[in-house]
Structure formats: structure tokens, C-alpha cells
Amino acid sequence: MADQVRIWADGVLQPGFVGVTPPEWLRRRLDEGLGGVALFGRNIVDLDQLAALSAAVRAHNPAVVIALDEESGDVTRIEIGSGSTRPGNHALGAADDPELTASVAADIGDQLAAAGITLNYAPTADVNNNPDNPVIGVRSFGADPDLVSRHTAAWVRGLQSSGVAACAKHFPGHGDTDVDSHHGLPIVHADRERLARLELAPFRAAIEAGTQSIMTAHVLLPALDPAVPATLSAPVMDLLRIELGFTGLVVTDGIEMAPIKAQYGLAGAVVRAIAAGVDAVCVGGETADEATAILLRDALVQAVHDGTLSEQRLAEAAGRVAALASWSAAQATARQEAAARWRTGGGQPGLEAARRAVRTWKTATAEPLMKPAHVVEFTTSVNLAVDAATPWGVGGPLAEILPGTTVERLDAAAARNGGLPAALQAASGRPLVLVVRDAHRHDWLSTALRTALAERPDAYVVEMGVPGGEPVGSMHVATFGSAPVCGRAAAEVLTGAR
């Protein structure tokens, strides 16, 4: 039985690793029954390499769950180098066409199927009802629970039509927070009635749509459990299992994220999560080595031996991982067909979706850009879900339409230390385009925008985050996301190309 407990413990782990081929330790662990792997941007060069990597992983364990976080829009793993060719959730919510959302998600599924991925840690089902949220924002379909619910369901159906499992996140809701859970523990002050009406609505929709998995949130909800974060909370898992009736796989958000690791340690957090009712553990965003994978497996085994974790609960968790693997095996033909679609013409709905999301406000004197502009893109810090290397903005796409367009970026320090006057001088005699993300959340950025517009009221403003406040500038364009495909849609509007 000791060997069986160790196999179950290995079965619930989804560790990450470093490199674009499976390291020796990972191959060995897969041979011994490791149940999953989590892939990150560091593991990906291009689609062909990723497909080869997935095949190499699967050669050591055909039932392994291969997971990736591909939300599209601002959060992409497959297209880190070029930026996503599809808009993210906030843009899809702005367009508000569930069939369009389903087609974009199916396109993502086709690409993931071609890459050999079986589980996508998406969609984000959080209702972004706090405009100051630093970690959800444009990753959400919007602030209205009905809108978020219908698009979450559409996204799940679209993705899973390609044979790739969806994972609605972050249960029971991360939208009403002003703390990034990568760094601190957010508290959601909502009573049971509001949770049922607002935060939980999209998760009900995801379950009704057949989502194969749900990811937990590292948030504290006093109305459900005043002491323990949701990922480690039995009452929160009971809500999901009993009240919402979810029978599929429950997986943690990255278990090494600061508010969990700091209080409980990696090993302690993993044991608590599985004991509470979670089935699989995502780890490896920050600690991606064999020592971590062994530490977590051995902690689970020891917890069974000392009675902290019941053998039955661990077996149940491993069984749900196996059930997802069985579902994936049954979807093999669907993934083959999806992969073939991708290779013969994937990527079609992305630009059209981005175009349909754009909203524009113009003054009476606003004219389309007809000559090269000077573009100032104000850079703000991004949360850890967004790879800092991912391209964003309007300058690149605009320069393709209007050659000779110049682009510069200003962060807070540069804007305060002479960078803004210099940028305005560089735009003298030329059209000026000011590009921001979540301007309402950053005092320095709001100040810089007002200062620039005081001198150049004719400037064009592009908001690529969550819109807030009144439109400003001679033309104000909202894209609801900063991916290059959103930048392309904005550039077309600025130049009158559409």
C-alpha cells in the first residue's frame, strides 16, 4: 500500500520544469506515474517545438495531463514572442457576441491541440466588479455577472469542442479585489447572498457548459471561511462540490504564490489543499525543479502516514486526475481534427474579434491620421500572469499602416524626470498618440495624461486596459486589451482604415 500511496501522490502533481525538452528527472518521474506537467513560456520556442515536447512527455506516460495557461490577449504562453493574435476576455465581452467568443476559444483549442496540450488553465470566469483590481482587469469578460456567465459558457464550449479541457478560474471569484494574489492575500468582503448572485454565477455557467476543471483562488472569503484561503478551505470546496454540484477536477492556482507559501510553506499548502478537497496541484511558475516535486510528493505520503490526510481523499483526488486523462483520451479524434484545422488555416477570428470590440469617441474636429505620428506608450507594471516579454501597444501596428511613425515608451520614473516634455517636443508638428493601460489605476499616469493633453489637446488617446473615467483627447479609442491584435484594430480606427 505504501507504493500505491506514493503513486497517488505523484498522480495529483502538475509540476513545471526548465527547458524546451523534458529533463532527465522529469522523464524518470513520468515513468513512475507523475500525473501532470505545467508548461510555461520558458518551455516554448514555437508550435513545432512545443508539439515535440508534448510528444516526448507523453512517451513516458501516455495518460499524463499536459497543462498550459493560454487565455489569449494579454496572457499568452504560445505567442509570447509575437504577442497574441487573439483578443482577451475583456474585448470579447465588449463585443458581446457569445458565438464570436466560442469561435475564438475554438481557435485557441485548435492551436493547443496542434501543440499536444490537453488542459488549458482558462477561461478567467471572474467578474471584474472592482475597477482597481490589479490582477484580473482585462482578463475578465466584464463587470456584469450575466455577461461574464454567458461568455464563460461560450468559451468553455468553444475550447472543449477542440478536445482540450477547459479550467474555469479563479473559484469562488477574484474580481472584487484590490490586491494581487501573486504578492498578498486578497480579501473578498461579500456575503453569501452576493456571492451566489454575482461571483458564483459564471462558475455555475461553466459547470452547466461542461467545464472539465475549475481552478481555485488564493483569496480569503470571510463569509465562507474566515481563517483559511479558498484553495485550502474545506467549506469553499463543499460549496463547489455540494451546492454547485461540480464533479470534475479541481486544481490549485500556482501553489508557490506568496500569500500561500509564506504562511503554510509549499509542503504544508499542498497537504492542506488536497485534504480540503482539491484534486491537483499546479506548481512550477517559480520553483521548477525535481527537489520541489519530490518534496511535495513525500509530504503527501507522510501526511497519509501520520493521519493528516486520509488515504481515501488522496485516492479520490488521483482518481479525478485519471478521469480527466480518460476524458482527454476519448477526445483524441477531436484533437486530431482540431490540429488539422489549425495547420490548414487557424487564427482566423482573432482580428475580427478585436475590431468588433473597439469603442471610439471623437470631437467635432477629430480627423483620421493621414501622416506619420509620434506614439508615446506609457508603461505600467504588469502582474505575474502576464509575461513581461510579451509585445503590446499601438505603435508597431500603426507604423505598418503609416511608415515613418515613431514610438517611444515612458515609465513612471521617465515621465517624472523630464521624459514627458521631451516626448512632447519630439511630437512637435506631428500627430501625437498617447497609449495607456488602466490610466485610472495609476495616479502618475493620470497626471501625465492631463499634462500632455493640456499642451496637445489634439492628441489621440488609446486606452488598452479597463476603461475608466470620461473619454479624453480629440479621439479616444478603447481596445479592452493590449495585445498586438488589439493594437492593430486601434491603428485601423485611428487612420480611418475601418
Positions annotated as catalytic residues are 182, 253
Question: Which residues pair with residue 359 across a beta bridge?
Answer: 478
DSSP designation for 87: -
C-alpha–C-alpha distance, residues 356 and 340, integer Å: 27
Helices (DSSP H) in 64-97: which residue ranges?
Answer: 89-95
Q: Which residues of 455-475 are buried (b: 16+ CB within 10 A; e: fewer)?
A: ebeebbbbbbbbbeeebbbbb
C-alpha–C-alpha distance, residues 261 and 255, integer Å: 7
Distances from the Cα of 435 to the Cα of 132, 327, 351, 368, 407, angstroms: 19, 44, 19, 16, 10
Q: How many CB atoms lie within 10 A of CB 429?
A: 5
3-state secondary structure of 253: coil
Spell out the residues 6+ positions from residue 494 whose beta carbon is closer than 8 angstroms to its own.
368, 369, 373, 394, 398, 433, 460, 462, 475, 477
The torsion region of residue 480 among left (phi > 0), alpha (psi -120 to 50) and beta comes to left
Which amino acid would we find at residue 325?
A: A
C-alpha–C-alpha distance, residues 1 and 452, integer Å: 70
